[in-house]
Structures are given as structure tokens and as C-alpha cells.
Amino acid sequence: MVAHVIRGRGYEIGIGPVTEIRPYEAKGIRLVGPLPAPIQNYTTYVAGVLTRSATPEPAAAFVRHITAPAARAVFAATGVE
């Protein structure tokens, strides 16, 4: 959808996930804000390590990495709350 707006294919406004709009802000797309709370939709992600994993430490390290304060800042910068 965002690509069609950028290319001028008859669209002047588009609605999509913030994470798909933010990367295009330098290309002429302007995020004006989220949808109103009553119609907003959120996706929740979870991460875990299987108890029977043959290599649990790399998986646990990845979970620690994506939940660290630095990673949270990166997520927030791209529109992930």
C-alpha cells in the first residue's frame, strides 16, 4: 500500500501498520498518527525457549537480546510499542 502512495498510483492517503510506514518517511510519506483507540488493533508477540531444546542457551541469548533496553529503543524507533 505504501509503495502505491509513493508512486502516485491514484492514492493520496493510506492506512497500514506504523512499522510499514516509518521506513518510507524519508521518501515523502508522512505518518500523521495512529488510528483512534476504539478501532486500533495491536499484535502481541511472545518469545520463549523450549524446555526440550537441544541448544537452549543460544535461544535464551536471543530472547535476552531482543528484550534488552537497547533493543526496545530500536523497536520504539520503528513504531513497535
State pTM to two decimals.
Answer: 0.62
At 60, the pLDDT band (50, 70, 90 cuts) reads: very high
Model pLDDT, residue 36: 92
Residue with the bigger pLDDT between 60 and 44: it is 60
Model pLDDT, residue 1: 63
Which long-range CB contacts under 8 A does 40-48 form with residues at least 24 apart? 42/81
Measured between alpha carbons, how far is 28 from 26 in angstroms, rounded to an integer? 6
- Alpha-helical regions (H) of the chain: 2-7, 18-21, 56-67, 69-77
Mean pLDDT value across residues 48-61: 95
Mean pLDDT value across residues 12-30: 82
Model pLDDT, residue 27: 80
